[in-house]
Structure formats: C-alpha cells, structure tokens
Amino acid sequence: MLARTLTLSYPYPHSMPLDTVTPLSPASSISSFDDEDVNARMAPNWCAYRHLLERRGVRLDTCRDVKQWYQDYWDKQLSQGYHVTKDLPGYARACSVPDENELCKDAGLPDNLFRGTYCPTKHKVVIKAVHIQSREYDAVRYLSSAPVRANPMNHLIPICDLIEVPGDNLVFIVMEEWSPQLVAEVPCTLRSFLGALRQCIEHIVFMHSHHMAHLDISVRNLLTDYNCHYAYIDFENSRRFDGLPHPRLERLRNTDPPPESERGECTDPYKADVWGLGVLILRACAMTGYNVPELIAFTRPLLHEDFERRPTAFAVLKAFDALAHSFAVRRLNTPPLAAQ
C-alpha cells in the first residue's frame, strides 16, 4: 500500500533545480496547432493495423485475452472471500464470438483507444491513436524523449513505443495501463495523499519550465501504478510556447476552464494550469475525504479570478512543500477524517 513506503521526501527523487532542465528543442509554431482536423479524435480500423502493431511487439486484446482477464479477476476475488457474478457484459461479449483470436475491444473505451499487451515487457498497455501532427503527439513525443523522460520531475505516463504510420497520418501511442487510484482507492494516510498531490504539481512545474502547458488538468487525467507513482495522461489540449515569453490563449476546451475563458477572454496558459491545479486539489480532497482546512485555504490564491494574480506553478510547489512540512508527523500518518 502507498503509505507503507512513502516518506516525507516523497516517492520520487528530490526535484532537480530548474536550471538543470534540458533546453526545449525546436517545435512547430503555435499557428500549426490551430487546425482542428489534426487534433480531432481518431477512429482507426484496429483490425487493419493489427499485424503492424504485432511486428512492434504490441498485441491487441483478443476474446481469449478478455475471458482470461475476467477469470483471473474472479479467482482473485474468490480467494479473498468475495462473492462474484459472471453475468457481466464484457465477458458475455467475449464469449459470444466463435473465434477466440478475434479482436475484442473494450466497449467502455472511445474509438481511439484499445487495450493490449506490450510483449517485450509483458506489461498491459493502452494504445491511443492520434494524428501525426496533433498537439498530443507533439507533447508526448517530446516528454518521452531522452533525456527529458529521465528527469524525476517528469510524471508522464510511461510510454512503451510510438508507432508512426506516415502514410495514414497516424501514430499509435503505446502507454502502460495504470489505474485511477484517487478514484478507485483512497490513499490511506495524509502523507500518501500529499505525496500524490505533490507529483501532480511537480509535473506541471516541469512542463512550464519547458515552455509547455497541459491545459486539461483533472482527476480523470491522473493515474497511478499503486506503487507511489502518479502520472498524467491526455495531452490533447497541450501547447508548446518556445520563443513566446508571454503567451495568451482563448477558447480553452479543458475540463475545468478558468473564469476568464468562460467569459470569452484571453488567458495566460500557464496560469490556466494553476487554476486547474487548484480545482484538482479541491476535488481530490472532496473525493478522498481529506478535507484538510490548510489544503482548502492553500488553493485560494490558485483560484484567483484575476489570472495575473495567481502564483506561478513553481511558487505553488514551494508553498506546498512548506505546507506539507508544517504538519506534525502524527497527523501525517492518519487516515481521512482523522487528518482534518
């Protein structure tokens, strides 16, 4: 469990000073990102790319895989004394196909996502299809490149492979399959909860130091490997601003737009991310039961109506560290409700 291994120094190595961050490599201009066609959600014919993916070590889930997954899950539940029901639509759908080798897409996923296995490591993965000129591919390709991916401040979901199909203007992003931990299972101590939040803030600091903004910070875009590591996904709205000291954007389409965007006004993309962090912290507190008064008060400057008066992400991280170290050890080791 998270709390048994997390210390006050947090699960990843200490943050590297921002002056050690690798300079941003050249990127496409912002104007090249304005084409909605290249950023629209893809819906590939997965069967047509099955053998191409297999040649790169990516095996898409078949009916056999899905049935085996359910069987393993039920065996685990039974071993723990839980009652199980096999009347589930996903299992029934897999059983209804005569050929066990036929691809079996998860009906709960959008058309641009497919579950599978990365054969070189045996890791379960999610494969995401995006346009080769999309904002998401630009961001993920950069954040997963060496040496950027090795920076301990970088909390991008681990990328197993990037498979380009230039003739179809398509890229398959092969990422490890992690879980929505803050939703599925609450961190068992305030210490582990703070550790999770710190990684959320730290990654945004890292992106901003590379002249990038995420622009869709939300609980649903955060995953965990259940081993003290948290990671961001969904960079569909992300932008890079190399060479622009004071970028401005309008008409943001993120989950929690800042008030200036809702008024139809321009915003600083970095301060829009800070607003997103404030909303994220409040929602995480409410969802997990860690309604700590000090954390609630901490979000107020982040949610200032005037974006110019919001702190930078780096200032947020420094203030968060100061707040975390102000809690008594006994309180850090307490579960929700008791931590309030």
Domain ranges of the chain: 2-36+179-332, 38-176
Decide if pLDDT at 339 tops 80: no
Say which CATH class 38-176 falls into. alpha beta
Check residue 183 and give its pLDDT: 60
CATH superfamily of the 2-36+179-332 domain:
Transferase(Phosphotransferase) domain 1 (1.10.510.10)
Q: How far is residue 238 from each of residues 2, 117, 311, measured CA to CA in Å? A: 30, 27, 20
CB 125 within 8 A of CB 177: yes
pLDDT tens-digit readout, 29-72: 344 445 678 999 999 999 999 999 999 999 999 999 999 999 99
- Reported as a single tens digit per residue, the pLDDT across 300-319 is 999 999 999 999 999 999 99
* Closest alpha carbon to 206 in 254, 161, 238: 238
Residue with tokens 């999610």: 126
Query: 261, 276, 281, 280: which is closest to 323 by C-alpha?
Result: 281
